[in-house]
Amino acid sequence: MSNILDKIYSHRLIIVMGKGGVGKTTTAAALAVEAANKGLKVCLCENSHTEAIAPLFGKKSVGAVETLVRPGLHILNLSPRSCFENYVTQTIRSRTLFRLLFNNKLVHLFVEALPGFDEILMFTEMYNMSQKGARGKKANEYDLVIFDAPATGHGVNFLSTPRTLMDMVSKGPVHNLCKSVYDRLTDSTLTTLVPVTLGEEMPVAETLEMMAKLKGVMEVDWSPVLVNMISESSLNPEQLAAIQELWPEDGAAGELYGALYNLQQQAQLNNAALSRLRDAVDQAVVAIPKLAKLGVRETERSIEGLGELVCHLKNS
C-alpha cells in the first residue's frame, strides 16, 4: 500500500500552499530533501523578496541561480526577469541575441505590461524544468519541481492567473501560453497542490476558504491536507482534576500540572480543528505532531527536523 509521499511524488510539479507561519516552507523543504534522498533530481523553488528556503540549507541567499545544496537537490528563487529571459531565449535560440535586443528597462516593461504575466512566466519556467530538453542541452533537468507558493491570499491569485488572463486575452501567443500553463496546472497526473495548515480555528478557516476559491476557478489535484504542530494528550478532564487535587498549586508540582493542563487544552483545540477539516474536505487529513526541532533555526538541527516530518508522512 502506497503512503502519502508516494502519492505526492507521482506528480512532476508539487505546489505547497498555506497561510504564513503554518510551516509551509519547512514542509516544502522536507518533501524536497526526501525526494532527493530517494534518488530523484529535485529543484525546490520559491518567489520571495526575503528568501526563506536558502537559510535552511546554510545559505544566506541564492537569488535566481539554481544552487546545488545536497546531492540531487537544487534550490532557486524565481525572478520574473530571469524567467522572461529563459522564455525568450528558448524562442529565439540565442541568449546573446536576447541580451542585444533587451536591456533591463525593456524587460521590465514587457513583464509589467500585462498584470499577472510574470506568474505565467514563472509557471512556464517550472514546467520546463521538469520537461526533458525544454530548456536546452546545457540546462539542468529535474524529475520533480517543488514550489513553495506565496502565502494563502496571494497564492490563490497566483494560481488563478492563467484562467484570468485567458479570459482577458482571447487569442494570440499570450492566450496560447496561458492556456498551456492552465492545462498543465489542471492535469492531475502532472501537478498536485499540498495544503498546509495548523490545527487551529483561523488557519483551518483560511485553508478551507483558499480551497473553495481555487475550486471555483479550476479543477486541480489535491494532495492530503497536512496539519502541522498537533499536540497530543492522553489525559481527560477527570484525570486532570484528580492530579490537581493530589498536587499542591505552588512549586514544581503546580508548574507540572499547569503544563499538563495547557497540553490537554491545546490537544482539544487541535482535535476540534481536525474534525472540522475532515468533515469539510474530500481528501485525507494528516495530523503531524509538534516537532521541536523544526522550530530551531540552526541548519543542522532544522534538517534533522525535516527528517522527522518525512518519517511521519511515510507512516501515514
For the question of whether the overall pTM of this predicted structure is more than 0.75, the answer is yes
Is residue 155 assigned to a domain? Answer: yes
CA distance 312 to 307: 9
Per-residue pLDDT, 1: 35
Per-residue pLDDT, 207: 94
Q: 73-77 and 191-198: which strand pairing?
A: unpaired
Which residues does 46 contact at the CB level (< 8 Å), separation at least 6? 25, 28, 52, 53, 76, 77, 78, 147, 148
Residue ranges for the chain with pLDDT beneath 50: 1, 92, 97-98, 100-101, 106-107, 292-302
Is residue 309 assigned to a domain? Answer: yes
Burial class (CB in 10 A: 0-12, 13-18, 19+), 183: exposed
Q: Where are the alpha helices (DSSP H) in 3-69?
A: 4-9, 24-37
Is residue 243 assigned to a domain? Answer: no
Per-residue pLDDT, 8: 92
- Residue length of the chain: 316
Is residue 142 assigned to a domain? Answer: yes
Per-residue pLDDT, 300: 38
Contact 16, 147 (CB under 8 A): yes
From the list 294, 270, 291, 266, the residue with the least C-alpha distance to 199 is: 270
Residues of 225-236 as b/e, b for ≥16 C-beta within 10 angstroms?
bbbbbbbebeee
**pLDDT single digits (tens) 134-190:** 777 778 889 999 999 988 677 788 888 888 888 888 888 778 888 999 999 999 999
Task: State the residue range of the domain holding 116.
Answer: 4-231+284-314
Is residue 118 assigned to a domain? Answer: yes
Is residue 227 assigned to a domain? Answer: yes
CA distance 279 to 231: 20
Q: Which cell is 155 given?
A: 497564492
Is residue 197 assigned to a domain? Answer: yes
Is residue 166 assigned to a domain? Answer: yes
CA distance 290 to 294: 9
**CATH number for 85:** 3.40.50.300
Domain count, the chain: 1
From the list 37, 48, 99, the residue with the least C-alpha distance to 71 is: 37
Per-residue pLDDT, 112: 58
